[in-house]
Amino acid sequence: MNKCFFITGTDTNVGKTIVSCAILQAANAYGYKTAGYKPVASGSEQLNIELRNLDAQLLKKNSSVKLNYNDVNPIVFTQATSPHIASELTGKIINWSLMCDGLHKLKKLADLIIIEGIGGWYTILYSSYTMADWVIKHQLPIILTIGIKLGCINHAILTTKAIIRSGLTLAGWIANEVILPNQYQQNYLKTLYQQIPAPCLGIIPHLPHWKTNFIGNFIKLDKIII
């Protein structure tokens, strides 16, 4: 039976990709057949004749199942902006069915799928439909990425309440040190432990060069899938 987790964040640039890759690496070490999935990505570069998003490429690299790029990221935009704006600028429709089909395909290939969102919980895809609506449709358990910095407590509480209101399961949260820890670091973490009604699955230290390192050891995988 497949296990799927959706990785959302308290904001953009809080480390959803490092968290997703860390979970994939930890699961690979346990022997799971893993696949990373990023249904929609913006902020990409042209390689040969194809668009490629760095986050999606990292998910592909850290998946134990051999995947084509389009298996990992079926919808991609050049513009580094909200996907509904990129869609309007390019005239490229964000195809809801294509996003769903991609997930169904991966369920046939892997037994653990880590799905990385785009932006925050309520990122708009098109019209009034958000990434959250797609996650609710698939009833995916959530892992919340919290970038540890000033303001993270407020953002974490707001996102947590929104997830719980949606009726979905908040499986856990992961703290990512997006900046070097300061004198209030432990106070932030203590408050998050108190305020978020889900287990902490790991604390990832500030790692500027994480893409070349093994980071799965920072994840407490046994709390959710072992």
Catalytic (active-site) positions: 38
| CA distance linking residue 76 with residue 95, whole number of Å | 11
| CA distance linking residue 33 with residue 1, whole number of Å | 11
Calculate the CA dihedral of residues 67, 73, 78, 79 and round it to 10 degrees: -150
| CA distance linking residue 112 with residue 226, whole number of Å | 11
DSSP 216: G
Quickly tell me which residue has 């009833």 as its tokens: 139
DSSP 219: B
| CA distance linking residue 223 with residue 172, whole number of Å | 9
Tell me whether residue 42 is annotated as binding. yes
Tell me whether residue 88 is annotated as binding. no
Tell me whether residue 117 is annotated as binding. yes
pTM (predicted TM-score): 0.96
Altogether, the residues listed in the chain come to a count of 226
CATH class of 3-223: alpha beta
Residue-by-residue pLDDT tens, the chain, 226 positions: 689 999 999 999 999 999 999 999 999 999 999 999 999 999 998 877 789 999 999 999 999 999 999 999 999 999 999 999 999 999 999 999 999 999 999 999 999 999 999 999 999 999 989 999 999 999 999 999 999 999 999 999 999 999 999 999 999 999 999 999 999 999 999 999 999 999 999 999 999 889 888 999 999 998 887 6
Tell me whether residue 155 is annotated as binding. no
Tell me whether residue 83 is annotated as binding. no
Tell me whether residue 97 is annotated as binding. no
Question: What are the angstrom distances between the C-alpha of 57 and each of 47, 101, 129, 144, 159?
Answer: 12, 20, 26, 21, 27
Tell me whether residue 147 is annotated as binding. no
